[in-house]
């Protein structure tokens, strides 16, 4: 898939998620790796209801804007995307949501949210039965992206379902393509909603 097509499809996804209330007040960020391995991220401060394919900018491995976009401002959390690409090399698309249910659930647990017996657990790549226990790590929120990146690297072994939650902040989910990244994010969203309704 060419970067132009992926930009269009991801921009459409961003607008759709905004319509669901998952990106209030210009929040959230998204990225993808193109066919050359170049990282593209959403420009900071964009109204996600009007997000366009041209609102992606190129960044280096440290999350700094480069090339034709060197004067543009990437999201403050761009470094998180870069670390996810580093830790999980098969990743091609990363989605970040501020949806309500994972945020609320993350305030009620310590280090992880645990799901068991839900059919939709099979939405995570590698899960083949609802009988398994699925664990999604919860990391404390911080404005220090360097420190948070170090936390991700130190605790990467706990990230088994292509996603994690930042406490009272939001979720990150990713995949080998846009379809898989969406499936992981939407599965986590659904499971968090179910779990909150159960308690």
Q: pLDDT, tens digit, for every residue of 134-187?
A: 999 999 999 999 999 999 999 999 999 999 999 999 999 999 999 999 999 999
Alpha helices (runs of H) in the chain, residue ranges in sequence order? 3-19, 78-87, 100-106, 145-154, 178-197
**Any idea what the CATH number is for the domain that residue 102 is in?**
3.40.225.10
Q: Is residue 73 very low, low, confident or very high in pLDDT (cuts 50, 70, 90)?
A: confident
d(CA 139, CA 141): 6
Domain that holds residue 163: 3-197
State the total domains in the chain: 1
Q: By the 8 A CB rule, do 133 and 114 touch?
A: yes
pLDDT at 1: 65
């Amino acid at each position: 898939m060419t970067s132009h097509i992926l930009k269009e499809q991801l921009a459409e996804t961003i607008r759709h998620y905004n319509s669901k209330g998952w990106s209030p007040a210009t929040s959230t960020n998204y990225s993808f790796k193109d066919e050359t391995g170049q990282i593209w991220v959403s420009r900071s401060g964009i109204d996600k209801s009007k997000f366009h394919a041209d609102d992606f900018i190129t960044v280096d491995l440290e999350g700094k804007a480069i090339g034709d976009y060197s004067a543009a401002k990437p999201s403050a959390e761009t470094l998180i995307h870069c670390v996810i690409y580093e830790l999980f090399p098969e990743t091609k698309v990363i989605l970040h949501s501020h949806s309500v249910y994972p945020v609320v659930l993350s305030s009620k647990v310590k280090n992880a949210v645990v799901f068991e017996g839900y059919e939709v657990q099979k939405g995570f790549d590698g899960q083949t039965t609802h009988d398994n226990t699925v664990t999604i790590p919860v990391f404390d929120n911080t404005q220090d992206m360097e420190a948070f990146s170090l936390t991700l690297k130190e605790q990467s072994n706990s990230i088994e379902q292509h996603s994690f939650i930042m406490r009272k902040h939001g979720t990150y989910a990713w995949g080998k393509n846009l379809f898989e990244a969406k499936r992981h994010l939407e599965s986590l969203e659904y499971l968090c909603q179910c779990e909150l309704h159960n308690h």
